[in-house]
């Protein structure tokens, strides 16, 4: 998704903008640009392509200025091109803007402005905003922006600067992320915290439908009625290197190696004595006992965590649960009421489909619980209860440690609900808690198998299609294993329920087809052995993931086995996903792909 950076202060704006945009590259983009105010001129430099292309252009022009806005664009309206790149300027060239989001009524506004004599050089909705601000401008930039925003429908994070206002610029937010960084006689805006961390840890988080007037010395926040808003300063306690590679070749492998600490950080603070204590939850025992259904809503990897959560909640807390992709849930007029709990899962806390799905569930009376990794994100702020995954910043587009910690949070919730419903005796409860606390070292031991996984990847990186099969929680796990491979290796893959393969898809299994089989579910183990025999009989090559106690038996029929430490089947996915993440990573590296920034993908999908 697009990245926005803005700066005003005493430094040369150009390096501040460029370094900030580099920190946002992980969000995914196809073009980039900056607008820097110098004397009475707005200097716009922008281009299709990576930031290196923009940097080259900037080397060839002499631009001085201490205020500017920058943008990395992930194309929505109009193909990636120099013309469609941001910033966009108004007709009179006096106003420049950068935008993340989609304006849903831009065509109507474009028609209106065309009748007023405005011409458009790009295909973007953003350029329409620039002209509309000019049309509404009567000498006060904040008022012109406020008037404009009241006429827009859709999502936006905006940075706006004007020649007539050299001592301030304006920012605005609705449904797309934007934060304000507070420095010493300098201030910043950014789509995400890593962009401003080198300069400040003091942040103001804009709420939806708010506008910020930002000068070097102060920041004023208004609602769309122009009323001043007060806001607590949020102190970012990440260490800067958490958003650096620290010697790893890629962020993705670094983040896989952070899984033990991330899972520990998510679980340990919530186990006090021998009890699971969820952070200031307002949901009561009564609500849990009377809860008739749990909807688990998310996208992508977070959705796959939700499918695991469904199995865990039903098995442990005996509450009917359904996992569903947010983009389907929000448009099907779902049956939701006040006796339901809706759990939304999101690493970024800004995925627009998940945010809108949560709003739909709330509108229908459901309580909401957010499992989110980014503190203060939109989803976190709007949910009734929040269970943060303390995974630290996840920079690689392909989500890894976030998934392991999302599972950890879901198990904590499922066990807490089961306990509060009186469904777990002391012995069972303590056993689960002990195993959860051992998860970090289990994952660490799996990381020790990476050479074996890397070798297997080197033998299969040319596969045309790879199947992931499993039963029960292993099927849920296979969904994520398959997505990980697809999104960074670009190899076609699909996850299949082991018992369903013979109902059609097994026709695709032929000599040499690679099938990854997960066998962590004890009561389905023999069934999965049968499924391995089925695919082997048709020439498949099988990579199995199995508990240590079953490794010898599985090795007799599979071509390779990755062992994971023995644990209760229901908790196995927290660790069993790691070998699949490593396999996908090594295949992508061997193929020479851009592992951290795979083609076409964005870290946070903040547009529909």
| Interface positions with ligand AGP (CB under 6 A) | 299-302, 346-348, 351, 354, 397-399, 487, 604-605
Q: Which of 2, 213, 291, 299 is catalytic?
A: 2
Collect all residues with Cβ–Cβ distance below 8 Å to 512 and sequence separation of at least 6: 539, 540, 541
- The residue to which tokens 């398959």 are assigned: 482
Instruction: In whole angstroms, give the CA distance from residue 402 to residue 411.
Output: 14
Count Cβ atoms below 10 Å from residue 233 Cβ, excluding itself.
Answer: 12
CA-CA-CA-CA dihedral for 222, 223, 226, 229, to nearest 10: -40
- Closest Cα partner for 592 from 482, 483, 462, 453? 462
Instruction: In whole angstroms, give the CA distance from residue 281 to residue 290.
Output: 16
Q: Is 538 exposed, middle or buried (0-12, 13-18, 19+ CB in 10 A)?
A: middle
Q: Is 2 designated active site?
A: yes
Tokens of 45: 């430099």
**Smaller CB separation from ligand AGP, 3 or 33:** 3
CB of 368 to ligand AGP, least distance (A): 15
CB of 586 to ligand AGP, least distance (A): 16
**Smaller CB separation from ligand AGP, 346 or 520:** 346
**Smaller CB separation from ligand AGP, 125 or 487:** 487
Tokens of 242: 């958490």
**Smaller CB separation from ligand AGP, 134 or 394:** 394
Q: Hey, is 324 helix, strand or coil?
A: strand
**Smaller CB separation from ligand AGP, 563 or 581:** 581
**Smaller CB separation from ligand AGP, 479 or 509:** 479
Q: Which of 14, 46, 174, 603 is catalytic?
A: 603
Tokens of 134: 């000019």
CB of 302 to ligand AGP, least distance (A): 4
Instruction: Please give the residue whose beta carbon sits closest to ligand AGP in the complex.
Output: 300
- Closest Cα partner for 67 from 128, 21, 25, 5? 5
Q: Hey, is 217 helix, strand or coil?
A: coil
Question: Are the C-beta atoms of 460 and 513 separated by less than 8 Å?
Answer: no
Tokens of 282: 């307002």
Question: Are the C-beta atoms of 287 and 367 separated by less than 8 Å?
Answer: yes
**Smaller CB separation from ligand AGP, 97 or 302:** 302
Q: Is 364 designated active site?
A: no
Tokens of 72: 């990395």
Q: What DSSP line would sit under 335-365, residue for residue? A: ---TTEEEEEEESSS--HHHHHHHHHHHHTT
What is the number of helices (H) and of strands (E) in the chain?
19, 27
CB of 301 to ligand AGP, least distance (A): 3
Q: Which residues does the annotation mark as catalytic?
A: 2, 603
């Amino acid at each position: 998704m697009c990245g926005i950076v803005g700066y005003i202060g005493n430094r040369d704006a150009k390096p501040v903008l460029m370094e900030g945009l580099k920190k946002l590259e992980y969000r995914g983009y196809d073009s980039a640009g900056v607008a820097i105010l110098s004397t009475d001129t707005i200097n716009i430099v922008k281009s299709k392509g990576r930031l290196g292309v923009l940097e080259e252009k900037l080397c060839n022009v002499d631009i001085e200025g201490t205020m500017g806005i920058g943008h990395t664009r992930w194309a929505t309206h109009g193909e990636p091109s120099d013309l469609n790149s941001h910033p966009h300027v108004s007709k009179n060239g006096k106003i420049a803007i950068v935008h993340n989001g989609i304006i849903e009524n831009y065509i109507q506004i474009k028609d209106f402005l065309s009748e007023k004599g405005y011409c458009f050089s790009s295909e973007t909705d953003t350029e329409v905003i620039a002209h509309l601000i000019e049309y509404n401008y009567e000498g006060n930039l904040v008022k012109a922006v406020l008037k404009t925003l009241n006429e827009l429908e859709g999502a936006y994070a905006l940075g706006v600067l004007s020649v007539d206002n050299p001592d301030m610029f304006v920012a605005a937010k609705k449904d797309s992320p934007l934060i304000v960084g507070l420095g010493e006689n300098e201030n910043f805006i950014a789509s995400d915290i890593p962009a401003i961390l080198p300069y400040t840890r003091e942040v103001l988080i804009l709420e939806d439908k708010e506008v910020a007037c930002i000068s070097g010395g102060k920041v004023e926040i208004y609602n769309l009625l122009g009323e001043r808003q007060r806001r607590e300063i949020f102190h970012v306690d990440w260490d800067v290197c958490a958003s650096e590679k620290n010697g790893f070749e890629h962020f993705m492998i670094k983040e896989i190696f952070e899984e033990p600490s991330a899972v520990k950080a998510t679980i340990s603070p919530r186990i006090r004595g021998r009890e699971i204590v969820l952070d200031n939850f307002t949901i009561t025992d009564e609500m849990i006992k009377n809860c008739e259904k749990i909807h688990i809503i998310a996208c992508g990897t977070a959705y796959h965590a939700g499918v695991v959560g469904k199995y865990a909640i039903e098995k442990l807390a005996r509450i009917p649960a359904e996992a569903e992709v947010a983009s389907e849930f929000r448009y099907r007029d779902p049956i939701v009421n006040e006796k339901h709990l809706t759990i939304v899962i999101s690493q970024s806390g800004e995925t627009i489909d998940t945010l809108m799905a949560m709003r739909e569930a709330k509108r229908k009376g459901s309580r909401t619980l957010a499992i989110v990794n980014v503190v203060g994100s939109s989803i976190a702020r709007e949910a009734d209860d929040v269970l943060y995954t303390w995974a630290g910043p996840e920079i690689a587009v392909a989500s890894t440690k976030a998934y392991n910690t999302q599972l950890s949070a879901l198990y904590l919730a499922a066990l807490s609900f089961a306990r509060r419903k009186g469904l777990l005796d002391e012995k069972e409860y303590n056993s689960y808690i002990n195993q959860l606390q051992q998860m970090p070292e289990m994952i660490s031991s799996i990381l020790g198998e990476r050479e074996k996984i890397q070798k297997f990847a080197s033998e299969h990186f040319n596969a045309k299609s790879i199947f992931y099969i499993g039963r029960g929680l292993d099927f849920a796990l296979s969904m994520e294993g398959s997505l990980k491979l697809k999104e960074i290796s670009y190899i076609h893959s699909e996850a299949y329920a082991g018992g369903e393969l013979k109902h059609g898809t097994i026709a695709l299994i032929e000599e040499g087809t690679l099938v990854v089989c997960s066998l962590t579910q004890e009561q389905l183990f023999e069934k999965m052995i049968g499924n391995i025999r089925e695919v082997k009989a048709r020439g498949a090559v099988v990579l199995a993931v199995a508990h240590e106690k079953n490794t010898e038996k599985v090795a007799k029929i599979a071509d390779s086995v990755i062992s994971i430490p023995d644990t209760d089947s229901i908790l196995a996915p927290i660790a069993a996903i790691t070998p699949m993440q490593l396999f996908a990573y090594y295949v992508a590296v061997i193929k020479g792909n851009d592992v951290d920034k795979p083609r076409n993908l964005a870290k946070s999908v903040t547009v529909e």
